[in-house]
Structure 1
Amino acid sequence: MLPARQFELLNRVAALHHRSLPTYLTYARPWVRTGSEAKAAIIDDMAIDHHDLVQRILRVLEADDRPVSLGDFPMEYTDLNDLSLDFILQELTHYERRLLKTLEEIASWMDRDQPPYLLVNMAIGLAMGHLENLAEANGDSPAMTA
């Protein structure tokens, strides 16, 4: 059984990814100009990564037989409905930077001897990879993503 604080932190990471902006955008797709399908695929790839991470986390959380709460999508995501893909990719970059910062903070509070720490580090690695992909799609140099 995980210590209560570790369980809460891991639940928070699951909620952040389950109700993430990339996941929301799989339901409310941005407008995609012909020829920009590869850029749009970045959103789907991010959402798939988030979904897979949530599934891994839920297996750990549900083994503790405690209630898990994943919450709802933030209402401010609806402000992005029907906007262009290029604008959305910029917003995703800002979102992913904030997510990375939050994950690094959560990792600093985690017990490094517990499996949840490895899952949070996996989430950090995914966020860093997503930022690299977004930088490439936005025509930015990798140094600009740091």
Structure 2
Amino acid sequence: MMTVDVLNRLLAMHSRSLPTYLVSAPPWYPESDSNAMVALRHVAEDHALMVDRLGAEIMREHGAVKAGEFPMTYTDLHDLSIDFVLRQVVSELQGNLEEIQTCMDQLQNAPAAKALAEEALGATQGHLDNLISLESVS
């Protein structure tokens, strides 16, 4: 698989993530759960920064940036409780870990791109740990 294709997979994963969607269409949450929404915003902010960096690397590789669309299933989540949505985000991030690892394996011959994937893996694990700790508090 070409470097640009793998980078675009990573870019779509970050630009069309559930936390990114939820910033525009937040779930219902009581004041007592505002920490969960703050944590989701941090994930979305980090995803936006990673998207910028991935996009720059794609252009450096003379590729076209392809962000994709948000999954239609996300539209069903914005009117649900933050507790339920948080579990969905945790599940998505767990799946992303495996996908990012696959991308890293495919970027063995592209050191700059692989470094971005490694950074994405570390950030995803950190966000996942944080969200799981919030989930256990709820």
Q: Which runs of 5+ in 1 are unaligned?
A: 141-146
Per mean C-alpha deviation after superposition, the further-off stretch among 84-93 and 32-41 is: 32-41
Contact persistence 2:25–2:78 (CA under 8 A): yes
Judge conservation of contact 2:3–2:110 (CA < 8 Å) in 1.
no
Runs of 4+ in 1 over 6 A off after TM superposition: none
So what's the TM-score if we normalise by structure 1? 0.88
In structure 1, the residue matched to 2:3 is 6
Indicate yes or no: 2:85 matched with 1:85.
no
Corresponding residue for residue 133 of structure 1: 130
Please give the alpha-carbon distance, in whole angstroms, between the structure 1 residues aligned to 2:51 and 2:105. Answer: 20
**TM-fit CA distance, 1:66:** 2.6
Matched, 1:104 2:101: yes
| 8 A contact 1:103–1:120 mirrored in 2 | yes
Superposed displacement of residue 63, structure 1: 2.3
For residue 13 of structure 2, what is the aligned residue in structure 1? 16
The 8 Å contact of residues 26 and 78 in structure 2, kept in 1 or not, is answered as: yes
5+ residue gaps, structure 2: none
Between 1 and 2, higher relative CO (CA 8 Å, sep ≥ 6) is seen in 2
Structure-2-length-normalised TM-score: 0.93
CA distance in 1, matches of 2:88, 2:12: 20
- What is the number of equivalent residue pairs in this alignment? 137
Which residue identity is paired with 1:16?
Answer: M
Per-residue Cα deviation, 1:94-140 (whole angstroms, up to 9, x for no partner): 01001111111111111255200000000100110011101110117
